[in-house]
C-alpha cells in the first residue's frame, strides 16, 4: 500500500551511528549542534549522544574551533559577509565565544577594509539614478545588511 515513512526502521547500533557521524563530519566541518541534530535524525537515544560526540572529538572528526574558522573563512571569501553577520551566524549554531573570537581573528584587517571599500564603491556606483542622500542610505543599508559594522560603513561612505 504505502510506506510508513520509517516508522518501523531498525535502530542503528552505536557503532553504525558512529560510522554515519564520521562520514557526516568528514564530508564537511560541523558544529556540535549540527551533530546533535543529526543524532536525533538518526533516532539515536539521547543517553548515547555525549559518548558519541566525545568519540568524534577524540578522533578529531569534530572540532568546534576548526568548524568556526572554516565557516567564517568560507562566508567571508565566498559571500563577502561582514564580521557582524558571521559572528551572529556562529552564535546561532551554538559555537563558543572563544571559538568565535578565534574565527574572527582569521579575517585580516587590511583585507577586510579593502573588500569593504570595494563593496561600498560598487554598490554606490550602481545607484547613479538616485540623489546623493538616497544613494548613501541605500548603499549603507545594503552593506550593513551584509553584516558589516555600521560605524565602519558610514566612515568609508562619508569619504566617497
Cell of 109: 584587517
Is 3 inside a domain boundary? no
Distance between CA 16 and CA 10 in Å, rounded? 12
Residues 43 and 70 in one domain: no
Distance between CA 80 and CA 68 in Å, rounded? 16
Is 138 inside a domain boundary? yes
Residues 47 and 70 in one domain: no
Distance between CA 84 and CA 100 in Å, rounded? 11
Domain that holds residue 114: 109-158
Residues 86 and 117 in one domain: no
Q: How many domains does the chain have?
A: 3
What pTM, to 2 d.p., does this model score? 0.83
The domain boundary, picked from 73, 88, 105, lies at: 105
Sign of the CA dihedral with 45 first, then 50, 51, and 55 last: positive
Is 44 inside a domain boundary? yes
The mean pLDDT value for 32-55 works out to 93
Residues 133 and 147 in one domain: yes
- Contact in structure between 53 and 36 (CB atoms under 8 Å): yes
Specify the pLDDT at position 6.
46
Per-chain mean pLDDT for the chain? 92
User: Distance of CA 61 to CAs 19, 34, 160, Å?
Assistant: 11, 13, 47
122-156 pLDDT per residue, tens: 999 999 999 999 999 999 999 999 999 999 999 99
Is 98 inside a domain boundary? yes
Residues 23 and 51 in one domain: yes
- Find the farthest-apart pair of alpha carbons in the chain and give their distance in angstroms, rounded: 69
Amino acid at each position: 500500500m504505502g510506506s510508513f515513512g520509517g516508522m518501523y526502521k531498525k535502530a542503528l547500533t552505536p557503532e553504525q551511528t558512529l560510522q554515519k557521524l564520521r562520514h557526516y563530519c568528514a564530508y564537511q566541518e560541523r558544529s556540535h549542534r549540527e551533530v546533535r541534530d543529526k543524532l536525533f535524525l538518526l533516532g539515536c537515544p539521547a543517553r548515547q549522544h555525549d559518548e558519541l560526540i566525545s568519540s568524534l572529538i577524540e578522533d578529531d572528526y569534530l572540532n568546534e574551533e576548526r568548524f568556526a574558522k572554516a565557516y567564517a573563512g568560507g562566508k567571508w571569501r565566498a559571500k563577502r559577509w561582514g564580521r557582524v553577520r558571521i559572528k551572529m551566524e556562529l552564535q546561532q549554531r551554538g559555537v563558543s565565544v572563544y571559538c568565535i573570537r578565534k574565527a574572527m581573528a582569521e579575517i585580516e584587517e587590511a583585507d577586510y577594509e579593502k573588500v569593504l571599500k570595494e563593496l561600498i564603491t560598487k554598490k554606490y556606483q550602481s545607484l547613479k539614478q538616485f540623489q546623493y542622500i538616497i544613494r548613501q542610505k541605500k548603499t549603507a543599508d545594503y552593506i550593513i545588511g551584509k553584516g558589516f559594522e555600521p560605524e565602519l560603513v558610514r566612515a568609508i561612505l562619508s569619504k566617497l
